[in-house]
Chains A and B, each alone.
Chain A
Amino acid sequence: MKLAYWMYAGPAHIGTLRIASSFQNVLAIMHAPLGDDYFNVMRSMLERQKNLPKVTTNIIDRHVLTQGSANKIIRNIIRKDKEESPKLILITPTCTSSILQEDLDNFIKKSSLETNADVLLADINHYRNNEYQAADITLKQIIHFYIKKYTNSKISLTKEPSVNIIGAYSLAFHNQHDILELIKVLTELNIKINLILPKGASIEELEKLPKAWVNIVPYRETGILAAKWLKENFNIPYISTTPLGHENLAIWIKELEYCLKSKGRVNLNFNNFIENKTTFNSQSFWFSRSIDCQNLIGKSAVVFGDSTHVAAITKILKKDLGINILWAGTYCISDQNWFKHTLKEYTNNIFVSENYSVVEKLIKIASPDAIFGTQMERHVGKKLGIPCGVISAPIHIQNYPIGYRPFFGYEGANQLIDMIYNTFSLGMETILLEVFGGHDRQVTETASFLNKGDIYWTKEAENIFAQIPKIFQKKIKHKIDTYAASLNKTIVTPEILYKAKASLTK
């Protein structure tokens, strides 16, 4: 049993539902008690979905506990098949159904005799997989099932170089914009898109999946299992670099070049493309060299989120902008070896934790100039008065913008730099406002503040003290008082003040 207030990654069935509802003609049936269909609310609210939910529930109630759900679930599968005629009905176990230990697989076999749709049971374990892992497993499972079902003849590659993008999901962080940006880059490189998975794809299209030359898995958390399986079975190479920021983009394009070369396009060379894009087309490359960015050098930040975004953004903060990374962390425990390995050259402090209070504590200890994290870190930042840029899920509705806000590609790099710069400059602004006493200038009444305690301050000392920026006053007052006390003085004169300063700045 674990005392928990908040979690970064959701339960397994959420991952499965995100995959199922991303496909065009898949219907998911949760085997769950009343009230567990909150997923539909999230989709309708966060993504502002116009479509009626494609997730329904086979409700577990008291009768199910006594009689089992066999008849009910079979009836529901057949009913949904008739009502909505999907291609695939995916049955999703939940935490409750996991402990009932019913033979769901058997019910599915029975019902699939009477349905037009294929019926599958998501192969997830509620107590071992989280949202991202479950999504990864489910996507692979669906791909596996349909490729086995469809492929009987020999598959040939497309004539022109083409790729599959495995990484378009519902309810993912800025995903829709990221995918558009990837399409843009690939189109400019004259590479065809064979299939984008799973969002928007229909089940029949999975047949042509093995025709692509290369698979692209832009997010580490979900898609890798499918890509690995396709590599093993169809020898399709895959790229798991995240195309976020200039350097990663360049690596990503070079990897693409390499993969295509290995498939026979020996004359390809994307170097010019990369150079052109970086130096002329993109603003962010120049921005990090402009005068404003000098001010960012040496500023400190902490970064937390999923491994994909933290790894890529930490690199940009450190390498492009010279920001001192006090620590970087992720909640993706299953991917921690990769995470630690990738980040070791950018910061000395790397950690993996699912516990938000640990993250909060570490933010407090580090007290950085800015935080880059999830919705949770944003609130911690608010509490501590530290600005925060949101770079990763979990997120709330304001992070599903309707404007074009990619993180990937060259436009994504621009957007990201804006976000980073604004986060820091807002922080700077607040500090300056404090130094100059806020928007409405007031004469500081130092007397009341200084002469509280055992030590008396003279008028002259007070006047000198008033020139110190306000935000430092409390701290400095304490130090001077302690200094005076150490000399057995009860009155602070200008003389003592300067002496204290000299001794403190030694």
Chain B
Amino acid sequence: MKTLVQNKTNSYCETGNYHTFCPISCVSWLYQKIEDSFFLVIGTKTCGYFLQNALSVMIFSEPRYAMAQLEEGDISAQYNEYSELLKVCLKIKKDRLPKVIFWIGTCTTEIIKMDLESTAKKIEAEIEVPIVVANANGLDYSFTQGEDTVLAALIKKAPLRKNKSLNTTPQLFLFGSLPNFISTQLSLELSKQGIKVAGWLPSSKFTQLPSIAPGDFVCGVHPYLSRAAYTLIRQRECRLIIAPFPIGPDGTRAWIEKICVTLGYSISGLKEREKQIWNKLVSYTNKLEGKTVFFTGDNLLELSLARLLTSCKMKVCEIGIPYLDKRYQAGELELIEKICKEQGIRMPKIVEKPDNYNQLDRIREFQPELVITGMALANPLEARGINTKWSVEFTFAQIHGFGNSENLLKLITRPLSRTQHLVNT
């Protein structure tokens, strides 16, 4: 494998020729999360085509997002970007009455060097609707990192809690977009330990963004939010709790524990809670135990999922991942190393910026019992007798916290159950 460049023990970097969703796809879940928002993707027909096909039925329910489709005159600067964008934003304001407009910059705006930031400031003043600019382009980011860039931009708009004398005790804020149902569940888990969550980023309304003060604690719920994390540290002087992510019973427990330890709370009943959940999941873990799994990598959830599957005693052949931030994901890396050590197995190989073509070679070699991959390779691999799970589903399904562990394992075991079913009937 001469294209693999080794960085550290068991961590490699390849060519970056892999399939993933364009990061502008984050508008699909973010517009649902932030109820008073409107997302405007400033790009070309290619972006629009991707969105309308990837999101299929969502398009028909009058979503709060649209394309500002660039024409030849925009590219050659025959049209003035300020007046063009003003026209579009005025229409959006009139038709949809949003409390905030997100501008999503794309590859094209990046290459032609459209100065979205300063144009946004002018237009914001003109139309009296706040504008948040985020560059979620395929030149720099993959798939879920789109949310990261949007959150990082949003944090700059969050109000500052100025009056220090009123509230001196630092508060805890969580960041990462989750459906309200799930974020409430996670907040409740923490409140069982006596910890109060002061607010979430993003909040379900732009107008209710939490106010953060220097010295406050922040903790992420997704593995792909490193930019947002650094923005909180550097621009808001927050203290980041580096923990594994609350995905699976093991991750959720470790996440809560880390928060408790950092904030100086004693931990009660967590070990039993985790055990209880695992007991409920026996029928799933039995199915997974001893089987091999391969991640081709496309959404940055791979490390957390591989850690969970290692806990389920699966053998992980390879963890493909678009980008691994070793500082932000340190908690997760530590946990998987610990689990491997406990089981007496080697740490699985992590491949950053993978090469799908080379990965196919390795898949042929390993013949894993399950490949977690994108839709471009899923059907061809199934046709070659290899079970696959479509990785994008993990981004859209509810997988966080103790309560969703069963949901998550159901997703992972489904291809195996299907194969078993087909063999038995």
A interface residue numbers (CB < 8 A to B): 1-7, 10-11, 13-14, 32-38, 40-45, 48-53, 56-57, 59-62, 65, 83, 94-96, 99-100, 126-128, 130, 376, 379, 382, 396
Contact = CB atoms under 8 A, between A and B. Distances in A.
Q: Which of A57, A61, A96 has the most CB of B within 10 A?
A: A96
A95 B45 contact: yes
Closest 9 CB pairs of A and B: A35-B22, A33-B138, A40-B376, A50-B383, A1-B84, A379-B60, A95-B44, A11-B45, A35-B138
Given A1-B84, A1-B88, A5-B67, A33 B72 contact: no
Contact of B49 (A5, A10, A45, A52): A10
15 contacts: A1-B87, A1-B88, A2-B69, A3-B67, A5-B66, A7-B49, A34-B138, A41-B19, A52-B377, A59-B16, A62-B139, A95-B46, A95-B107, A96-B44, A382-B60
Nearest to A33: B138
Interface residues of B, number: 60
B143 interface: yes
Instruction: Say whether chain A's binding surface is mostly helix, strand, loop, or mixed.
Output: mixed
B66 A44 contact: no
Contact of A100 (B66, B84, B111): B111
B403 to A, nearest CB: 31
Contacts of B383: 50
Given A41-B374, A52-B380, A53-B380, A1 B71 contact: yes
B68 interface: yes
Residue among A13, A65, A95, A99 with the highest chain B CB neighbour number at 10 A: A95
Given A1-B69, A10-B49, A44-B378, A396 B75 contact: no
Nearest to A396: B56
Contacts of B88: 1, 3
Interface string B57-81: 0011001001111111011000101
Contact of B360 (A5, A40, A52, A126): A52
B302 to A, nearest CB: 16
B143 A35 contact: yes
B252 interface: no
Contacts of A126: 44-46
Q: Chain B interface secondary structure, helix, strand, loop or mixed? A: helix
A96 B22 contact: no
A7 B52 contact: yes
B397 interface: no
B19 A40 contact: yes
A34 B142 contact: yes
Contacts of A7: 45, 48-49, 52
A95 B108 contact: yes
Given A1-B88, A40-B19, A50-B380, 10 more contacts: A1-B68, A4-B69, A11-B45, A33-B137, A35-B50, A38-B54, A41-B376, A50-B379, A52-B360, A126-B46
A32 B139 CA distance: 9
A6 B72 CA distance: 19
B17 interface: yes
A43 B54 CA distance: 13
Contacts of A65: 111, 139
Nearest to B81: A1
B283 interface: no
Given A5-B59, A7-B49, A35 B23 contact: yes
A35 B67 contact: no
A45 B392 CA distance: 13
Contacts of B289: none
